[in-house]
Structure 1
Amino acid sequence: MVSLNDPLLIYTDLDGTLLDHESYDWSPAEPWLARLRDAAVPVIINTSKTAAEVEQLRHELDLYAPYTVENGSVVVLPPEWCVDETATAEQWAHLPLGASHDRIVSVLAAIRENEGLSFRCFSDMDTDEVAERTALSRDRAALAKQRQGSEPLVWEDTPGRLVHFQQVLTGFGLTLTRGGRFYHVMGDEAGKGRAVHWLTSRREVLHQERPCTIGLGDGPNDVSMLEACDMAVAIHAPHGQVLEVDNAHCYFTRASGPAGWDEGLTHWISLEGSTLDE
């Protein structure tokens, strides 16, 4: 276990993890959010959501820390985390880690035409359809369409052709990952795990000490994050899918969503003292 007095970074998914998958409520996690806030421990959102969505959510959650969006395609830094980037209190620095959204959409259009595959992208949907498919309000759905480095899609073809689709994407330097509701196409240099490594290294440079990292997630697209962290929390998913995580320090929760978030941090963080040196 670690304590709140140790150098610590928390990386967290949102939907199905910090937020309830259906209601988007986070109240069961609020006691730990308050403790981490009081201890000045950064809670770093690592999500498939867009920067526009997270910018609104981080204010609602009262979080002040970097965040990474679109499955690790873009890292967003406050001024205190910048080295040679430019950021202000109003406009944080956005650093792409993968391909641009314009290129991804262009490649997907070419693949669909040339290969005859059936899938429906966010860019094919209007705001009302995105709202219906995501259970978001129309305003939040509009934020979900403001993408920089990935494209969600609904696969409407056969499982066998999905394998072919993944192979074709690889030839274009793109990759496919599965989230809770959608598949996500992004550059093969992006990913939640890579974002963890990038931000942890930046923190080490800024503070001249390596922090201990804890990652929390519930879906297949979270596995690289859970494997990149020192300690991991695999949140129980209501659909029953068990994640395969190559991390000896991975705790599997009984509870789902923000209640599982609370359970996982209680498992790894001591409120009494550090056991890092034991």
Structure 2
Amino acid sequence: MPALTESLVIFSDLDGTLLDHNTHEWDAARAWLTRLTSKQIPLVLCSSKTAAEIIALQKELGLQGQPFIAENGAVIALDESWNDHPDYPRLLAGARHEEIRLLLGRLRDTHGYKFTGISDVDEDTLAEWSGLPPKRVSLAMLQEASETLIWRDSDDRLAAFTTELEQNGLMLIEGGRFWHVLDQQGGKGQAVAWLMKQYRAQRGSSLTTLGLGDAPGDAPLLDAVDYAVIVKGYSRNPVILKQDNPERVYRTEQHGPAGWSEGLDHFLADA
């Protein structure tokens, strides 16, 4: 079982996990956030959100300067103390946002796929879709290496669309509310593994990792860590892991930040 020691690093999804799916509040996680900070346990936010959104949230949560993973692994920010690292301050994986947006436009024009990207709408529309407060909406539109969309076509067409993306070096990830397109060099699992390697290099010691997520798109994150918490979510599809056993994986009864805290209670209450 993990312990609250310097060897522990926690990776957490945001929407539907640390943040409430509907209200984006996190009060139910406050006690554990305070405890992790007091023990100097890194909490790496790992999300589909943009770097600009996560930096703002880090300030709100008291996590400034810690590494984070944005845009489902397409963007990796390093710890502020690693300023001698060759990839400091952050690493972008593969294709940039504008390249992805142009390719999506060509696929839509050629095959008639029905979807709407957030680059196609204004801030008021995105606020209505996401439920984000106005101050966060403009930050959500600052994508650097992915595109977020709402799929409006059939499941059969979705399968064909996914194949087209793969043939162009991209992948499609299902989130709690949207779909996300990014380079195959990205992905939460690859980003977590890369950051774990950096932590080992910086610390020169063994590492114990715990991850938390709520949606199918979080499976690569949860597969990459030693211990996994699947927070009860709202996706119609289950979160399927490669190594799903009760010693390693815990499924919560509660949603959002209450479930997030429940998962940490399960693995760390006795620590």
TM-score class, shorter-chain normalisation, is over 0.9
Report which stretch shifted further, 192-201 or 132-141: 132-141
Segment drifting more, 6-15 vs 39-48: 6-15
Superposition map of 1:112-127 within 5 A: 112-127=108-123
Which runs of 5 or more residues in structure 1 are unaligned? 88-92, 273-278
The separation in 2 between residues aligned to 1:113 and 1:238, in whole angstroms, is: 32
Report the aligned-residue RMSD.
1.4
Q: Is the 8 A contact 1:74 1:98 kept in 2?
A: no
Within the candidate set 180, 188, 193, 1:192 is matched to: 188
| Counterpart position of 1:251 | 250
2:11 aligned with 1:11: yes
Distance, in Å, in 2 between the alignment partners of 1:188 and 1:165 is 15
- Cα gap change, 1:230 to 1:82, in 2 (>3 Å): farther
* Deviates most, 146-155 or 72-81: 72-81
Residue in 2 that maps onto 1:161 = 157
The AA in structure 2 aligned to 1:75 is I
Q: TM-score, normalised by structure 2?
A: 0.95
Residue 77 of structure 2 is matched in structure 1 by 76
Contact kept, 8 Å, 1:236 with 1:242, in 2: the verdict is no
Q: Which residue of 1 aligns with 2:166?
A: 170
Name the SS for the 1:252 alignment partner.
Answer: strand
| Structure 1 position 96 matched with structure 2 position 92 | yes
Cα distance in 1 between the residues matched to 2:137 and 2:110: 30
Conserved in 2, the CA contact under 8 Å of 1:32 and 1:262? Answer: yes
Unaligned residue ranges in structure 2 (runs of 5+): none
Counterparts in 2 of 1:223-238, with a 5 A limit? 223-238=219-234
Structure 2 Cα separation of the partners of residues 30 and 195 of structure 1: 26
Amino acid at match of 1:78: D
> In the alignment, which residue of structure 1 is the partner of 2:218?
222
Aligned to 1:85: 86
Equivalent residue for 1:131, pick from 122, 127, 134: 127
Which ranges of 4 or more aligned residues in structure 1 deviate by more than 2 Å?
A: 81-87, 238-242
User: TM-score normalized by structure 1?
Assistant: 0.92
> Partner amino acid for 1:25?
E
Tell me the matched-pair count.
Answer: 267
Task: Look up the equivalent residue of 2:181 and give its one-letter code.
Answer: V
CA distance in 1, matches of 2:206, 2:83: 17
Separation of aligned partners in 2, 1:229 and 1:136? 30
| 1:35-76 deviation line (CA, Å, top 9, x unaligned) | 110111000000000011111110000013100100010001
Q: Equivalent residues in 2 for 1:3-82 (5 A)?
A: 3-64=3-64, 65-82=66-83
Deviation at 1:192, TM superposition (A): 0.5
Does the 8 Å CA contact 2:215/2:235 hold for their aligned counterparts?
no
Could you tell me how far 1:97 is from its partner in structure 2?
A: 1.8
Structure 2 SS opposite 1:177: strand
| 1:240, distance to aligned residue in structure 2 (A) | 6.6
Contact 1:217/1:226 (<8 A) preserved: yes
Paired position in structure 2 for 1:90: none
Counterpart of 2:266 in structure 1 is 267
Deviations 1:109-145 (A, max 9, x none): 1111111211111110111111100001222111100
Contact 1:66 1:81 in 2 (8 A): no
Q: CA deviation at 1:257?
A: 0.5
**1:224 Cα offset (Å):** 0.3
